[in-house]
Amino acid sequence: MRLNVKPAPSTEAIEALSRAIHIDRLNTILLLQRGVTDFDSAKNFFRPSLQNIHDPFLMRDMDKAVDRILKAQKNKEKILVYGDYDVDGTTSVALFYSYLCSIGATAGYYIPDRYAEGYGISLAGIDYAKENNYTLIVSLDCGIKANDKILYAHEKGIDFIICDHHLPGEEIPNAVAILDPKRKDCAYPFKELSGCGVGFKLAQALHSTLKKPFEQLVQLLDYVAISIAADIVSVSGENRIFCFYGLQELNKMNKAGIKALCLLNKKNNDFTINDVVFKLAPRINAAGRIDHAMRAVELLLSKDEEEAGRFAEKINQTNSNRKDIDKSTTEHALSIMANDSRLIHKKTTVVFHETWHKGVVGIVASRLIDTYYRPTIVLTEVDGVLSGSARSVKNFDVHTAIEKCAHLLTQFGGHKHAAGLSLKAENLPSFTQLFEEVVSKSISEKDLIPEIDLDAVVNFNEITPKFFAVLKQMAPHGPDNMTPIFVSHNVLDTGWAKIVGAKNSLKLTLYQAENPNVKMSAMAYGMGDYLHFFQRKIPMSVCYTIEENTYNGVTSLQLTIRYMQPMQEKT
């Protein structure tokens, strides 16, 4: 793995900001890396304010969307809230459906079946709306490329409002309104909203038009925070504000469904973005992967704690089943790759088996990248069509590469680092070959070597409680404000290093050769194989985050090691 230390800001910039806000040099460097350059931007960063979120009417078509919904409310039309089956989609539906109910609209909700209907707007969903007398559909986290489906709905006498955050195609659908900050003709200042975030902006616009106090909307921000964390969108600008207040709402646990999910994790407060990503989101996602995402929406909307507890237990069991399927599928895929010598020299992975569960192929693609670091597509077969997910390496746009193979596909969509696609079985050999050619022409050898981004080179004597007190205020973390990872060189162990736990982890007490009096406790999870380096007193480069650890009522700072290597291998 390559160690990529971010360039340090200029000495003048460091000194100026440090004087302006009275903090240490190392934290100043971290802030400058995150675009914080003066007192005002530091204030906005450390003290996010809901007063700084944008006017929703800056978004193209917002006025049209509001007018159509209020018309439907006035005329007692039935509104169907339609969302994707992942966490962003299900939280979007929960948020906007609950909001419509709060203003007295007649509403229902719908999530497509991942297997029977596939991603996005489906003909079956539109038929459901027609059969149940819905005359307006509000889609969330999907729809921006559903031109033919919107036309089909129009023929059925159903209007559409699309709320999406994915990149539009060349031609946008002919809907009543299309809310998507990534539209080329949309001047909305912040482009990186989640799908649920776009739904919140629509609720904000409606609330403003109805002359209701904004404070009533804050209770919806836990849904937005969950969506931002799970969909791995930027945690800067408006999203940072939504996350900051959304986590506060989440930790109040005023919603029975969210409380039930949190209690499953043996926690009842102090949930962080990491907790959402690794504990809540996989469970919500599991419903759509293995069962049906409607179960997730039912849980999120549940008002009765006993009912919510039952829903949460069922989703938790579904998630356990998902883990088992994920593990066995990954092992099967790795065995296929190990037995195919042609894959050794390729710059892509395309692997297929007709028995794999569609709900885990995206997870499996990510697992394969951990072993074979290159753009990866994992496919299975559903009703005679090959369907699957793509995942990419850090600096490569896999969506663009897939787009260049579009003539061989029946459907595709997604982001730079993750995409979904479908194709006919007879096109698989041609697609595999073309995808390899496209990627080979555009990816560099450097991009095929994993790297770890490091914020700064640190001496242990800089890691003080005062430093950490500022550092932890930089949360919530995520893209564009990742948890700072530091590197220290010439690191040795005091001689008490040992393997602990069932997962081959290392417990260490570290010091740097040039300053042996400053010692740091550290944990290296799953890295027991590195013990011999410390036993042989080989100086190490250690990459880590800094956490608080409480033991027997005493709280101290501890390094959580992400990666390490002997100094002679330092790059």
- Tell me if residue 495 falls in helix, strand or coil: coil
Long-range residue pairs from 532-539, CB within 8 A, at least 24 positions apart, any chain: 533/564, 533/566, 534/492, 534/493, 534/497, 534/506, 534/508, 535/497, 537/492, 538/566, 538/567, 539/489, 539/490, 539/491, 539/492, 539/513, 539/566, 539/567
Q: What residues have CB less than 8 Å from 486, skipping those under 6 apart?
A: 454, 455, 456, 457, 458, 543, 544, 545, 546
Radius of gyration, CA atoms only, the chain: 25
Question: What is the C-alpha to C-alpha distance for residues 393 and 242, in angstroms, rounded to an integer?
Answer: 28
Question: What is the C-alpha to C-alpha distance for residues 79 and 83, in angstroms, rounded to an integer?
Answer: 13
- Could you tell me if 221 and 200 are in contact, meaning their C-beta atoms sit under 8 angstroms apart? yes
Give residue 321's Cα distance to chain centre: 22
Structure token pair of residue 365: 């693609």
Question: What is the C-alpha to C-alpha distance for residues 477 and 453, in angstroms, rounded to an integer?
Answer: 15
Could you identify the residue written with the tokens 């921000």? Answer: 221
Question: What is the C-alpha to C-alpha distance for residues 163 and 177, in angstroms, rounded to an integer?
Answer: 8
- Interior CA angle at 130 toward 125 and 135, to 5°? 105
Question: What is the C-alpha to C-alpha distance for residues 225 and 235, in angstroms, rounded to an integer?
Answer: 10
Question: What is the C-alpha to C-alpha distance for residues 294 and 199, in angstroms, rounded to an integer?
Answer: 18
> Model pTM?
0.91
569 exposure class (CB count in 10 Å sphere: 0-12, 13-18, 19+): exposed
**pLDDT per residue as tens, the chain (571 positions):** 889 999 989 999 999 999 999 999 999 999 999 999 999 999 999 999 999 999 999 999 999 999 999 999 999 999 999 999 999 999 999 999 999 999 999 999 999 998 888 778 999 999 999 999 999 999 999 999 999 999 999 999 999 999 999 989 889 999 999 999 999 999 999 999 999 999 999 999 999 999 999 999 999 999 999 999 999 899 999 999 999 999 999 999 999 999 999 888 766 668 899 999 999 999 999 998 888 889 999 999 999 999 999 999 999 999 999 999 999 999 999 999 988 877 778 999 999 999 999 889 999 999 999 999 999 999 999 888 999 999 999 889 999 999 999 999 998 887 788 899 999 999 999 999 999 999 999 999 999 999 999 999 999 999 999 999 999 999 999 999 999 999 999 999 999 899 998 779 999 999 999 999 999 999 999 999 999 999 999 999 999 999 998 888 888 999 999 999 998 654 4
Structural domains of the chain, ranges and CATH numbers in brackets: 2-32+452-569 (2.40.50.460), 56-218 (3.90.1640.30), 340-448 (3.10.310.30)
Question: What is the C-alpha to C-alpha distance for residues 541 and 491, in angstroms, rounded to an integer?
Answer: 6
Could you identify the residue written with the tokens 């039930």? Answer: 260
